[in-house]
Amino acid sequence: MIIRSKAPLRLGLAGGGTDVSPYSDQFGGAILNATIGMYAYATIKPTANNAIVFHAIDKGERYTYESAASLPMDGKLDLIKGIYNRIVKDFAQKPLSFELTTYVDAPPGSGLGSSSTLVVAIIGAFVEWLKLPLGEYDIAHLAFSIEREDLKMAGGRQDQYAATFGGVNFMEFSANDKVIVNPLRIKETSLHELENNLVLFFTETSRVSSDIIEKQRKNVTDKNESSISAMHNLKEQAQLMKEALLKGEVDKIGEILHYGWTNKRQMAEGISNSMIDEIYKSAMTAGATGGKISGAGGGGFMIFYAPENNKYAVIEALNKMGGRVMRYTFTEIGMTSWTVN
């Protein structure tokens, strides 16, 4: 028997950073994101040899442990071990024996939510294998709890919910870990036009998002007025983006993205840098009307909105910047799991 699962990565379109505590707890956050056809994959093969094997193909890492109720945090695929430890503690309540193979279509630190999406995919495989009674909100919250509480990883709340639910969603965040996911019913022609005009660019760099997120958190704790004001504006940006998409006013997306770009840079030091600024300037000069850095910032993926037929000139300009333009499609389906007998 083989159990498989996959969960989609996401493009954060608006409101990025307002899902991070303490801002979301004090003021409430709002995010608009869309999942794409790039995935995190997990495969579980149950065994009877009292061993646990973790094989992260994309990382080139493979480790074998003696089956136990709790595995040590030793710097070797701790994210995966943290998931296993929580599954045993809360559900299985006994050591398990299996081989887990994982792969992610984007590297860590790229800004597409790859780490959280992998957590959701692995949880999904365990839910399928052990027949756990967990719904979409349960899976997303468990993924958040493992990352943020058990493993003390800095970050927000949107990635786990995007990966679990899939599609284009307007998400609201408030105190006590309350999250509401509002799926958006966008006209098919509007979604096609957005997909056609939105250019995804990988800068060929990655970053440690926790460093930037900690600076953002400190700015809120220290009541940094300019940083908090920027976060208020980004929350407004999510609302503006939602209205534009629902009304089919797709060509407003560029200016809404640019509004977010000017504000996100004020949230914390390190979100942008000279390389990112030069890429942004190049895309705008070529005909983009707005763009953003994906995720916490500092590197990874960027997106640009190029109306009419401007995307071809934008792509040509970006290809000269040392990174690569990536093809993608939107996907409506979130985490999916299945069993092969």
Active site residues: 159
Contact by Cβ (8 Å): 19, 174: no
Distance of CA 280 to the CA centre of its chain: 21
Q: CA distances (Å), 55 to each of 41, 64, 100, 186, in order?
A: 12, 9, 6, 39
Amino acid in the structure at residue 41: Y
Count of helices and strands (H, E) across the chain: 11, 12
Q: CA distances (Å), 70 to each of 66, 92, 339, in order?
A: 10, 12, 26
C-alpha to C-alpha distance for 199 and 309, rounded to whole angstroms:
12
What SS3 class is residue 51? strand
Q: What DSSP character marks residue 334?
A: -
Strands (E), 211-275: none
Contact by Cβ (8 Å): 264, 17: yes
C-alpha to C-alpha distance for 309 and 132, rounded to whole angstroms:
48
C-alpha to C-alpha distance for 71 and 84, rounded to whole angstroms:
8
How large is the greatest C-alpha to C-alpha distance in the chain, in angstroms?
Answer: 60
Q: What DSSP character marks residue 319?
A: T
